[in-house]
Structure 1
Amino acid sequence: MNFHLPIGTWVESAVDWIKSNLDGLLDVVSFVVTFLVEGLTFLLLLPYFYVVIVVAALIAWLVRSWQLAVGTVISFALIVAMGLWVPAMQTLALVLVAALVAVVIAIPLGIWSARNPTVRAVLKPVLDFMQTMPAFVYLIPAIVFFSIGVVPGLVATVIFALPPGVRLTELGIRGVDSETVEAGQAFGATPAQILRGIQLPLAMPTILAGVNQVIMLALSMAVIAGMAGADGLGKMVVEAISTVNIAKGVEAGLGVVLIAVFLDRVTAALGSLGRHPGSLLWTLAQRRSGQRVTAASAPVADAADVHTDEKELQHA
């Protein structure tokens, strides 16, 4: 059979055209991404490591529980003990920036898809393609566009992590009770007001579940980003593979796991802030609730005392 459809050649021609005609835009993207990742890495490495550990533990206690705070201290201390603090913070910075970019793109696309059937019909096969295409393939055009370094790794990470954010945002918006939306419309609310006041608040747990998945997928791309030259634990894993260094590979992989557990637990708790027994927010809410009950019961008690005093005076 002599028939051949040169799809790969067409894509290569498109990549060459973009490289030749949009070089200025690619330079701007490269500068912004490098600035964000290196800036966040600098901020994470600026204080002593124990300051970052304390802040991370306080965040864990604030949104989840004191047990997670203790686990965070132990996990981050283990990263320090293995001598992986600098590459771990480089990986954390890369993941946070990639997740932020993916979320900024995914949530508006998910909202648009939920409110427009045509957009949903177009996006669905595109998202299927993005999720099923091997992640290594994204590195090829990314390296052509941005050369070796952190930028192609981040671009490939964003593309790979984007689909669940879009899908779960769409699912959350479409899952809002139609009667609630109709009630808002009956009161004369505009579509924008319904979105802000009804759909987004009710869909927030599902949207935050999508954010959690975006962060986890971004972290799973750490090794692939390391293949593109991005510094961090992924690069250490790649070096361990190339030199068959079991000890180095296990330690770097364990560092990725410890960061993943922390990010997963914290982001999962964001969907139900203040409802985790043991969290600082839950404790503060319970205290405020107790103070309100005490304040409400005080006038009743005062009235009862006055009534008793009046009875005693009448008896006298």
Structure 2
Amino acid sequence: MAESSWLTEFPQLDRADLRDIRKSLDAGYREFSREYGEFIESFFDPLLTFLVWFEKLLLATPWWLVIAVIAGLAYLASRSWKLGLGVVISFMLIGYFGMWDNTMRTMSIILVCTLMAIALGVPIGIAMARSDRAQAFVTPVLDVMQTMPAFVYLIPVVMLLGIGKIPGVIAVIIYAIPPVIRLTNLGIRLVDKDVMEAATAYGASPFQRLTGVQLPLAMPTIMAGINQTIMMSLSMVVIASMIGVKGLGQPVLKSITNQYFTLGLLNGLAIVALAIIFDRVSQAYAKRAQEHMKGLENG
């Protein structure tokens, strides 16, 4: 009884006032989208052009050449023939079960989103590492980005840009960029101060210290952030398919709505295969980079 009394006495906005606030915010956002939607859409046209070109390139390239290039890159990053063989077998099975085109579409989205996340996230992480004020400002934003449900990202983006590739890319980047920002900041802050003092004593400029000392020493941590960004991008594939992003996510969504168990299972396994390949390659590269830096420090 006391609890219900407390609830009734808790101060709340009147329903009419709350409804007016919501209507004002919705009307403001709709007016903003009508006023600036075309300009913002034209701003992303170069990205859309590149994304369409890259997707067509992957689809037009012979399957054996795509597999050879990916397996070669996996081997160069890891120096493991087992990983290279696993890449070949995985992509052969993907093609055998008729999922090649959707896999190439998904790869194009993931690679573009990862490159964009790196291009945006690493400089922000560097700025956070150099300024406590920047870190205090950006950290709460990252907290919100990581705790906000992924579906919520789709609402303003779709209202502003409609459905298609670019809204999907923006939603994926917003969802996946926090790890690379956080771990870039952490990696640079963990660089030994004695090493930085030695570089300063040798007359290195701030830019030289950043590119020649901090970033190489922080590279294993940064690679861990890139690894997490790739994994989070792949986890957004199915959600992004809801706004028209073609790839492995659309068959999974179709299987959910139509109860096609086998279709969802096979495409889900293809997403898992991509996740494992990207994870193993990035982890192996990070490990090799860490061993290389330890060798330089010992030398």
Partner residue of 1:85?
100
Partner residue of 2:48?
34
Matched, 1:15 2:29: yes
Partner residue of 1:236?
251
Partner residue of 2:91?
76
Q: Deviations over 1:9-41 (max 9, x none)?
A: 565355334313323432224422322221111
The residue correspondences of 1:46-65 to structure 2 (distance < 5 A) are 46-64=60-78, 65=80
Q: Deviations over 1:33-82 (max 9, x none)?
A: 32222111111111211111111111122222100111111100110111
Matched, 1:25 2:35: no
Under a length normalisation based on structure 1, what TM-score does the superposition of the two structures give?
Answer: 0.82
Q: 1:275 to 1:87 in 2, by over 3 A?
A: same
What is the distance in 1 between the residues matched to 2:237 and 2:260?
18
Partner residue of 1:217?
232
Under a length normalisation based on structure 2, what TM-score does the superposition of the two structures give?
Answer: 0.87
Alignment gaps of 5+ in structure 2: 1-10, 292-299
What is the distance in 2 between the residues matched to 1:99 and 1:147?
22
What is the distance in 2 between the residues matched to 1:165 and 1:275?
17
Partner residue of 1:174?
189
Partner residue of 2:5?
none
Amino acid in the other structure paired with 1:20? R
Secondary structure (helix, strand or coil) at the match of 2:98 reads coil
Q: 1:172 to 1:10 in 2, by over 3 A?
A: farther
Instruction: Tell me, yes or no, if the aligned pair for 2:124 and 2:181 is still in contact at 8 Å.
Output: yes
Q: Deviations over 1:238-260 (max 9, x none)?
A: 11111111111101101101111
What is the distance in 2 between the residues matched to 1:270 and 1:102?
19
Shift of 1:182: 1.3
Amino acid in the other structure paired with 2:13? F
- Between 192-201 and 76-85, the greater mean CA deviation after superposition: 192-201
Secondary structure (helix, strand or coil) at the match of 2:244 reads coil
Of residues 236, 240, 260, the one that matches 1:245 is: 260
Secondary structure (helix, strand or coil) at the match of 1:83 reads coil
What is the distance in 2 between the residues matched to 1:241 and 1:94?
22
Of residues 153, 177, 183, the one that matches 1:162 is: 177
Instruction: Tell me, yes or no, if the aligned pair for 2:129 and 2:135 is still in contact at 8 Å.
Output: yes
Partner residue of 1:3?
13
Partner residue of 1:298?
none
Q: Deviations over 1:90-130 (max 9, x none)?
A: 00101111111111110000000000011100011000000
Shift of 1:198: 1.0
Secondary structure (helix, strand or coil) at the match of 1:189 reads coil
Amino acid in the other structure paired with 1:82? F
What is the distance in 2 between the residues matched to 1:272 and 1:257?
22
The residue correspondences of 1:270-309 to structure 2 (distance < 5 A) are 270-273=285-288
Matched, 1:96 2:111: yes
Q: 1:155 to 1:17 in 2, by over 3 A?
A: same
Shift of 1:134: 0.1
The residue correspondences of 1:84-163 to structure 2 (distance < 5 A) are 84-163=99-178
Q: Which structure's CA Rg is the greater one?
A: 1
Amino acid in the other structure paired with 2:251? M
Amino acid in the other structure paired with 1:245? Y
Instruction: Tell me, yes or no, if the aligned pair for 2:220 and 2:289 is still in contact at 8 Å.
Output: no
What is the distance in 2 between the residues matched to 1:165 and 1:189?
26
Q: CA RMSD in A?
A: 1.9
What is the aligned length? 276
Partner residue of 1:257?
272
Partner residue of 1:300?
none
Shift of 1:274: 7.5
Alignment gaps of 5+ in structure 1: 277-316
The percentage of counterpart residues that share the same residue type is: 41
